[in-house]
C-alpha cells in the first residue's frame, strides 16, 4: 500500500515511523524540507518535494498539521494535493481539526471521488511512539474499514464517532477537558503551595481521590513537580483545540461559558508564554500572577 504522510511535527513524526516498514511503502513531505530529509535518512522513506508529488500514486494520503486551515491550504495550486490525487484515493486527516472545515474539505474531495475522514488522535508523543493512540474517526463506515490497516499501525483504540466532522468534535471536547483540568489544578496547587502545603503531598492525595485526572496523575507529577516541562504539545495547539470546542457548542446552541472562559484564558497564556511553550507551562502564568511557584 502506497502511503504518503504530510506533516512531520512532534506527533506526526512518531506516527509516520510506524508506516515506514512493509507492508507500507511510505513517502513523506514536510514544509521544512530538512525535517523530511532527516526522516527519510532514518527510515528509508521516499522524500518528495511537493504535496502534489506526495499525492501522485498514493493509495492513502495522511495529513497531520496544526489546524484544518493548513490542510485546506495544501489542496490547491500546481503543487497542491488535488493536482496529484488519483481518483479513489483515501485522504485521512489526523490533524485535530474543526468539523466545519473538515466537511468542506470532504465535499471538495468527493467531487474527485476521493474519500475523506477526520481522524484526530490522542495519547501524546509517547502514545504515538508506542503505537497506542486513540483515533477518533469521522467518516462513512466503509471509509473507516478502508483506513483501518493504516490506523492500526499507530492506533490502539479506533472509534467511528459519526460522519465527517464527528472525530474533530469529540477530540475538541476531550481537549476542553484537558484545558479545564490544567487550569483548575494550576490554580489549586499554586494556592496550596502559597499556603505552605506540599504540592507533591497534595497530588498524592488527589490522585487517590475523586478529583484525579490524567493531568494530576501524569502531567503534573512528571512535569510540574520536577520542573522538567518537556515541550511535546504546544500550548498554542491546546488553545486552538479549546476554541474549536467553544465554537462547536455555540454552533449547536449549547451555552458553554466554562469552555469559552478557558479558551479565552489559554489565549492569554499563549500570548504571555509564546508560540513554542508547552501546554503544561500554563501553570507558570498562574504562578506569576500569584507570585508563588508550585513547590515540593
217 interacts with ligand NDP by CB under 6 A: no
Among 1, 2, 10, 200, contact with ligand NDP (rule: CB under 6 A): 10
* Nearer of residues 200 and 232 to ligand NDP, judged by Cβ: 232
156 interacts with ligand NDP by CB under 6 A: no
154 interacts with ligand NDP by CB under 6 A: no
- Strand-pair category, 133-138 with 121-122: antiparallel
30 interacts with ligand NDP by CB under 6 A: yes
5 interacts with ligand NDP by CB under 6 A: no
129 interacts with ligand NDP by CB under 6 A: no
Among 38, 46, 70, 229, contact with ligand NDP (rule: CB under 6 A): 70
Instruction: With beta carbons less than 8 A apart as the criterion, state whether 14 and 128 touch.
Output: yes
* Nearer of residues 97 and 163 to ligand NDP, judged by Cβ: 97
Task: Select the span of 83-91, 117-125, 214-222, 258-266 touching ligand NDP (CB under 6 A).
Answer: 117-125
266 interacts with ligand NDP by CB under 6 A: no
Residue 264 exposure: Cα atoms within 13 Å on the Cβ side: 6
96 interacts with ligand NDP by CB under 6 A: yes
Q: What is the largest CA-CA distance in the chain?
A: 64
CA separation (Å) from 219 to 97, 191, 215, 234? 23, 18, 5, 14
For residue 115, the minimal CB distance to ligand NDP (Å) is: 21
For residue 101, the minimal CB distance to ligand NDP (Å) is: 12
* Nearer of residues 191 and 229 to ligand NDP, judged by Cβ: 229
66 interacts with ligand NDP by CB under 6 A: yes
Among 233, 244, 269, 287, contact with ligand NDP (rule: CB under 6 A): 233
Clarify whether 194 is annotated catalytic: no
Cell numbers that stand for 61 in this block: 494520503
Instruction: Measure the CA–CA gap between 227 and 25, rounded to whole angstroms.
Output: 41
What b/e sequence results for 254-293 when a residue is b if at least 16 CB atoms lie within 10 Å of its CB, and e otherwise? Answer: eebeebbebbebbbebbeebeeebbbbbbbbbbbeeeeeb
Task: Select the span of 8-16, 101-109, 189-197, 284-292 touching ligand NDP (CB under 6 A).
Answer: 8-16
Q: Convert 14-60 into a string of H (helix), E (strand) and C (coil).
A: HHHHCCCCCCCEEEEECCCHHHHHHHHHHHCCEECCCHHHHHCCCCE
Annotated catalytic residues are 171
> What residue ranges bind ligand NDP (CB under 6 A)?
7-12, 30-32, 35, 64-66, 70, 95-96, 121-122, 124-125, 232-234, 237, 241
Amino acid at each position: 500500500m502506497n502511503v504518503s504522510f504530510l506533516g512531520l511535527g512532534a506527533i506526526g513524526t512518531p506516527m509516520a515511523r510506524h508506516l515506514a516498514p512493509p507492508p507500507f511503502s511510505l513517502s513523506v513531505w514536510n514544509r521544512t524540507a530538512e525535517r523530511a530529509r532527516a526522516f527519510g535518512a532514518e527510515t528509508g522513506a521516499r522524500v518528495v518535494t511537493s504535496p502534489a508529488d506526495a499525492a501522485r500514486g498514493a493509495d492513502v494520503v495522511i495529513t497531520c498539521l496544526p489546524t484544518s486551515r493548513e490542510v485546506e491550504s495544501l489542496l490547491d495550486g500546481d503543487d497542491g494535493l488535488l493536482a496529484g490525487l488519483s481518483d479513489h484515493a483515501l485522504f485521512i486527516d489526523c490533524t485535530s481539526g474543526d468539523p466545519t472545515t473538515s466537511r468542506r474539505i470532504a465535499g471538495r474531495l468527493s467531487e474527485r471521488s476521493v474519500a475523506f475522514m477526520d481522524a484526530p488522535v490522542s495519547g501524546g508523543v509517547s502514545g504515538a511512539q508506542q503505537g497506542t493512540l486513540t483515533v477518533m474517526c469521522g467518516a462513512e463506515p466503509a471509509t473507516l474499514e478502508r483506513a483501518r490497516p493504516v490506523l492500526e499501525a499507530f492506533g490502539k483504540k479506533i472509534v467511528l464517532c459519526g460522519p465527517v466532522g464527528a472525530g474533530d468534535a469529540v477530540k475538541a471536547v476531550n481537549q476542553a477537558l484537558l484545558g479545564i483540568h490544567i487550569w483548575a489544578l494550576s490554580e489549586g496547587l499554586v494556592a496550596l503551595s502559597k499556603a505552605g502545603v506540599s504540592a507533591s503531598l497534595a497530588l498524592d492525595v488527589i490522585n487517590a481521590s475523586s478529583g484525579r485526572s490524567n493531568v494530576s496523575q501524569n502531567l503534573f507529577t512528571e512535569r510540574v513537580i520536577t520542573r522538567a516541562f518537556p515541550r511535546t504539545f504546544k500550548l498554542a495547539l491546546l488553545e486552538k483545540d479549546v476554541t474549536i470546542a467553544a465554537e462547536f457548542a455555540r454552533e449547536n446552541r449549547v451555552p458553554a461559558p466554562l469552555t469559552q472562559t478557558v479558551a479565552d484564558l489559554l489565549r492569554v497564556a499563549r500570548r504571555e508564554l509564546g508560540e513554542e511553550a508547552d501546554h503544561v507551562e500554563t501553570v507558570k502564568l498562574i504562578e506569576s500572577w500569584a507570585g508563588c511557584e508550585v513547590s515540593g
